[in-house]
Amino acid sequence: MMIKEQFQKNKSGWIKSFIEGFSQDENGEALPWMTYPAIEFLQKNLTKNHEVFEFGCGASTLFFAKRVKKIVSLETEKRWFEIIKEKLQEKNTELNLMQNGLTNSAYENFAKNCQQKFDFIIIDSLKRFECATNSIHALKPGGTIILDDSERKNYRKIFDFFAERNFNKQDFFGIAPGQLRLKNTTFFTQKN
């Protein structure tokens, strides 16, 4: 979908997200701060059988909680953690706060140490390379790691890491709710 078409299709939600500083659609329903093509893909393909882990909670936590069996989320900012905790209505969500997580390896190893496997692991936080490489062990067979803001050059080594392990790569380029820049969201899917 072309950028102009993405905006036309989503403009009232985009404007609302921009004004309120919270990613949402035209009805106020939470959306991940990913590109619209990535959001559309998830809306069509997520099921109540899926289990999700995410580094960095937010509107995406609310979005996934309505669509999947279980979501485990890890956040480092207490204020943001409290905002999402207050908005969250679904009971299938495990929110974790790790304020000192960026100073030790516990943060990037959290998914791996959950003693659980996930269908999707979303990486939209700091320490993205470490989170990606350590989370591979927490994926179910055929699972997907989603890297948001993947257009950034400093994430190229993540692409190399997954290419070396023969993961399928799918890019979703475009605009995101309320964002003034073009961005990319990349899905790395483990081959069965």
Q: What is the pLDDT of residues 1-56, one digit of tens each?
A: 566 676 666 677 877 888 888 888 888 899 999 999 999 999 999 999 999 999 99
User: Who has greater pLDDT, 176 or 4?
Assistant: 176
CATH topology of domain 3-178: Rossmann fold (3.40.50)
Residue type, 12: S
Tokens of 100: 């000192």
The pTM for the full model equals: 0.90
Which pLDDT score is estimated for 150? 92
Task: Give the CA distances from residue 84 to residues 52, 81, 164, 168, in Å, rounded to whole numbers and listed in that order.
Answer: 16, 5, 36, 32
Among 68, 21, 22, 31, which Cα is nearest to 6's?
A: 31
The mean pLDDT of the chain is 89
